[in-house]
């Protein structure tokens, strides 16, 4: 048989149930508040972390860009130096080729040295004579330079004299023109005379 509960027991049961429900709802709200606070804290820390990370990344990018610019300039300088080194290596190779040719010529000259040695005394005598002649030529050139300086001075004096003569001839022309005018005036009365 079913036990009949009294209304008072039912009210107590309902009240206990409501109290437990209320307590559970308060615990639920407290838990939601705690979870939301922790979530907000996590979001704040995440945003701060992301902001700091973004600033760090931007800073690193700016540093890398400035370093890349200086690295590019240095690489350009290095490329210029490498080009100069390449050109110098080509010049050295050319010089080595010329040196080898010179060494070959020296070898040939050494092989033919006996024939050249025979000519050396004559060459020495000719060089001594050439030195004497060059000394004479040098003295003659010095004398020519001195004479040219003197001629230049005389030409300057002649230029001044020519300017003076030109001025005097101009004055003489003016005076001759005046004399011609005066002779014409003197001749006017004579033309009136009946002389043939």
Token look-up 């009946």 returns: 194
- Considering the domain architecture, whether residues 96 and 149 belong to the same structural domain is answered as no
Same domain for 132 and 85, yes or no, is no
104 with 141, same domain: the answer is no
C-alpha dist (Å) from residue 158 to 2, 36, 101, 187:
164, 117, 60, 41
pLDDT of residue 97: 86
| CA distance linking residue 141 with residue 149, whole number of Å | 12
Its pTM stands at 0.31
Per the domain annotation, does 100 fall within a domain?
A: yes
For residue 176, what are the domain limits?
Answer: 124-186
Tokens of 122: 């004559």
Q: What is the DSSP letter of 6?
A: P
**Which of 80, 111, 142 corresponds to the end of one domain?**
111
Q: Residue 117's pLDDT is what?
A: 65
Q: Of 47, 82, 111, which one is at a domain's C-terminal end? A: 111
User: pLDDT value at position 1?
Assistant: 39
Greatest pairwise CA separation for the chain in angstroms: 201
Per-residue pLDDT of the chain (196 residues; tens, 9 = 90+): 345 568 888 888 888 888 888 898 999 899 999 999 999 999 999 999 999 999 999 998 888 888 777 778 888 888 888 888 888 888 888 888 888 888 888 778 777 766 666 667 777 787 888 888 888 888 888 888 888 888 888 888 888 888 888 888 787 778 777 877 777 777 666 666 665 5
Burial class (CB in 10 A: 0-12, 13-18, 19+), 43: exposed
Structure tokens at 10: 């039912």
Both 107 and 158 in one domain: the answer is no
Q: How far apart are CA 22 and CA 194, in angstroms?
A: 171
């Amino acid at each position: 048989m079913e036990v009949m509960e009294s209304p008072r027991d039912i009210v107590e049961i309902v009240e206990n149930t409501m109290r437990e429900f209320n307590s559970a709802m308060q615990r639920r709200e407290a838990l939601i508040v705690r979870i939301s606070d922790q979530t907000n804290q996590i979001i704040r820390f995440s945003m701060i972390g992301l902001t700091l990370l973004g600033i760090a990344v931007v800073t690193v990018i700016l540093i890398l860009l400035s370093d890349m610019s200086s690295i590019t300039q240095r690489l350009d300088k290095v490329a210029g130096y490498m080009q100069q080194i390449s050109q110098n290596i080509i010049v050295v190779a050319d010089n080595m080729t010329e040196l080898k040719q010179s060494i070959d010529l020296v070898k040939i000259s050494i092989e033919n040295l006996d024939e050249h040695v025979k000519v050396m005394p004559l060459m020495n005598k000719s060089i001594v004579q050439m030195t004497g002649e060059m000394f004479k030529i040098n003295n003659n050139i010095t004398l020519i330079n001195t004479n040219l300086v003197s001629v230049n001075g005389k030409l300057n004096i002649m230029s001044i004299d020519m300017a003076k003569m030109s001025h005097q001839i101009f004055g003489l022309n003016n005076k001759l023109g005046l004399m011609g005018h005066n002779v014409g005036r003197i001749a006017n009365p004579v033309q009136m005379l009946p002389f043939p």
